[in-house]
Structure 1
Amino acid sequence: MTNPYIPLGQKRQMRKVLAIIVLLLILIISAIIISMNVGEIRLSPWRVLQTFIGLGTADESLILFDFRLPRIVLSVLTGMGLAVSGCILQGISRNALADPGILGINAGAGLVVMLFIFFYSAPTDAPVFFLPVLALFGAGATALVIYTLAFKQAEGISPTRLVLTGVAVQAGISAAMIVMTLQLSPEDYQFVAVWMAGSVWGSNWSYVLALLPWILILVPYAMSKSSVLNTLNLGDMPAIGLGASIEKERRILLAAAVGLAGASVAVSGSIGFVGLIGPHLARQLVGSKHQYVIPVTALLGGLLLVVADTLGRWIMQPTEIPVGIVVAVIGAPYFLYLLARSRA
């Protein structure tokens, strides 16, 4: 039953948000269907449908269920995780340019994954469910360093100082990773090169199951903290005046953002700009209230990554372009546009 005490403007906003969510879901489903047809071996939509209901050949079932669908689902989940992580970081820092890739959190997760390669011939030999945990450790340690360096007792966290500190830490980690690649075998070096470019490499159902709990737990948790993020956006003094424990809430939300980014990076490689583009587009569509921004951001992130992965597999068949490069082609100009607008 509709609550008669909800203001008319809020009802219209809720209907608008619902319509946008339905539209995004339709676009994601359409992108998934198209993506299932893209590859070195083409499957027509009719053959895909027949394979789904068990009427396909053994080869078609293998291609669809063992190769393409896990990768597509992983792309959607990774996009959601990175986008919501960026949305949280932008909310707690009040900086429109905050992103787990730009702040160095992705690089910290990647550093631990690269260290892991020294003990295994390839990450695919490692226990699957350990990778998100290890990436979380690297991302968390990096976030702790950035937070400590950017925090000042008298001022708290300055948005500008947080981003500049993150960029500096990210540069240092990237340099360390480049040095480490010189010690790798040719096979591992090839994997690391593709990983650093951003590639949904963990394309089997085990990696989907490894990432899924992080998305199912942390994205709803971020939505439950929407009112806190709305309060933090007002500034530190107004938030304190409203009774918010700002530093405690920042640390909790930062941990959630790190968890989403670290788990996503563990199975997808270093993909940047998803956490930058998703929240910005969401705000343009539904406004600044995080109870609307977060779900729309998640859907936009999933849509962006599955489309980018599909384009990467289609543009230069049978050669594959890493999804991180496709996203960077879109994201880098958008980042420069936001940077120029912020200076205006």
Structure 2
Amino acid sequence: MISTALLRKQKWTIVVLAVLIFLTIGISLSVGSAAFAPSRLLPTLFGNGSFTEEFILYSVRLPRIIVTLLAGIALSLSGAILQGITRNDLADPGIIGINAGAGVAVAIFFLFFPIDAGSFIYMIPVCAFIGAVGSALLIYIFSYDKNLGFQPTRLVLVGVGFSMALSGIMVVLINSAEREKVEFISKWLAGNVWGTDWPYIIAMLPWLIICIPFTLYKANKLDVLTFSEPVAVGIGASIQKERISLAIVAVAMAAAAVSATGSISFIGLMGPHIAKALVGPRHKLYLPIALLVGGLFLLAADTIGKNILDPDGIPAGIMAAIIGAPYFMYLLFKKK
């Protein structure tokens, strides 16, 4: 039974985070290489802006903001699921190699398969999902011990190793690619938000519309999976079935996110941890907080990064790593 005080705290935390997200959206819409007065935001949103203002708002900035926000939500929820099913607080789709697997699949598709401009946008999430699933399966196999069963600690070590190996494969692919295509892969590796048009939002939405409600619905099952296997089995949970279904959802959300934003790590690590610190470890309480924290964090990282240096700024993935890497080290030493 969740106390009334905790439920009230959750509601107020959601309200505060939602306000911060709207403020960050407002800042992101207002700042940039093209001047856009904050006082013109609302008139332009309601169709009373000039042609230039409407173009900047609807064709340049708003799609990028929505893609970044959705990707942050997806990565944070993916990390929360992975931490729950592996019982490891260091699990993150970027750190354990799932994002890298998605990236290799996208690179192979982009470099070696005929690409039709109309279907390219919608095929990228599918290719990313296939690569992420393949990577996740290999990581799971190498993390499993026939005598001891699934080893959460080994998963992180194996995942980091796979991530490095897949990054090496990506370098080989880049060296064999044409110059024009190398630029795309390089941006992807840096976590540069490149899917900044409305079709990319349409390509991401079906994945998230299915996966986000499913994750929230499975909150209580995730609570059970955090127990040891004998306890979970004693409660009556079908551990393998739940793990597989939730792992597929986590991989799908990570793949959908990185297909438009590139390789971004640490969002899935920090979002759940900050949410747990705010409202506690119950998944029903902290999952809604985690998705908002993830969206806010990536949106803020992209807003700061794209405006901090001229002309191209710093990719959101690098900004997230600058903040997230020290936090990862803190968690790593804390678990010793």
Q: TM-score, normalised by structure 1?
A: 0.94
Residue number in structure 2 paired with 1:262: 255
Residue number in structure 2 paired with 1:18: 11
Q: Per the alignment, in what secondary structure is the counterpart of residue 127 of structure 1?
A: helix
Following superposition, the deviation at residue 98 of structure 1 comes to 0.4
Q: Which amino acid aligns with 1:181?
A: I
Change over 3 Å in CA distance of 1:127–1:319 after alignment to 2: closer
2:156 counterpart of 1:156: no
Following superposition, the deviation at residue 152 of structure 1 comes to 2.8
Following superposition, the deviation at residue 60 of structure 1 comes to 1.2
2:62 counterpart of 1:69: yes
1:87-136 CA deviation, whole Å, 9 max, x = no partner? 00000111110000111000000001101121469896752111111100
Identity of aligned residues (%): 44
Residue number in structure 2 paired with 1:4: none
- Measure, in 2, the Cα distance between the counterparts of 1:123 and 1:237: 51
**Structure 1, gaps ≥5 residues long:** 1-6
Residue number in structure 1 paired with 2:310: 317
Change over 3 Å in CA distance of 1:340–1:333 after alignment to 2: same
Change over 3 Å in CA distance of 1:320–1:126 after alignment to 2: farther
Q: Which amino acid aligns with 1:221?
A: F
Q: Which amino acid aligns with 1:155?
A: L
Q: 1:127 aligns with which of 120, 127, 139?
A: 120
Q: How many residues align?
A: 336
Q: 1:208 aligns with which of 201, 220, 227?
A: 201
Q: Per the alignment, in what secondary structure is the counterpart of residue 312 of structure 2?
A: coil
**Contact in 2 for aligned 1:39/1:318 (Cα 8 Å):** no
1:223-248 CA deviation, whole Å, 9 max, x = no partner? 11111111111211110110111122
Bigger mean CA deviation after superposition, 169-178 or 98-107: 169-178
2:230 counterpart of 1:237: yes
Change over 3 Å in CA distance of 1:203–1:233 after alignment to 2: same
- Measure, in 2, the Cα distance between the counterparts of 1:157 and 1:124: 43
Once superposed, what is the RMSD of the aligned Cα atoms? 1.5
Q: TM-score, normalised by structure 2?
A: 0.97
2:287 counterpart of 1:285: no
2:36 counterpart of 1:43: yes
Bigger mean CA deviation after superposition, 115-124 or 101-110: 115-124
Residue number in structure 2 paired with 1:276: 269
Change over 3 Å in CA distance of 1:286–1:124 after alignment to 2: farther
Q: Per the alignment, in what secondary structure is the counterpart of residue 193 of structure 1?
A: helix
Q: Per the alignment, in what secondary structure is the counterpart of residue 3 of structure 2?
A: helix
Bigger mean CA deviation after superposition, 140-149 or 19-28: 140-149
Change over 3 Å in CA distance of 1:313–1:271 after alignment to 2: same
1:177-196 CA deviation, whole Å, 9 max, x = no partner? 11110011122112211110
2:25 counterpart of 1:32: yes
- Measure, in 2, the Cα distance between the counterparts of 1:114 and 1:272: 18
Residue number in structure 1 paired with 2:159: 166
1:155-187 CA deviation, whole Å, 9 max, x = no partner? 321111111121121121111111110011122
- Measure, in 1, the Cα distance between the counterparts of 2:229 and 2:203: 37
1:284-312 CA deviation, whole Å, 9 max, x = no partner? 00100001111110000000011011001
Q: 1:333 aligns with which of 315, 322, 326?
A: 326
- Measure, in 2, the Cα distance between the counterparts of 1:156 and 1:91: 17
Bigger mean CA deviation after superposition, 298-307 or 128-137: 128-137
1:191-222 CA deviation, whole Å, 9 max, x = no partner? 21111010110000100111112122111111
Residue number in structure 2 paired with 1:183: 176
**Structure 2, gaps ≥5 residues long:** none
Q: Which amino acid aligns with 1:220?
A: P
Following superposition, the deviation at residue 341 of structure 1 comes to 1.1
Following superposition, the deviation at residue 269 of structure 1 comes to 0.2
Q: 1:308 aligns with which of 301, 304, 311?
A: 301
Q: Which amino acid aligns with 1:229?
A: L
Q: Which amino acid aligns with 1:144?
A: L
- Measure, in 2, the Cα distance between the counterparts of 1:50 and 1:151: 57
**Contact in 2 for aligned 1:39/1:317 (Cα 8 Å):** no
- Measure, in 1, the Cα distance between the counterparts of 2:255 and 2:79: 12
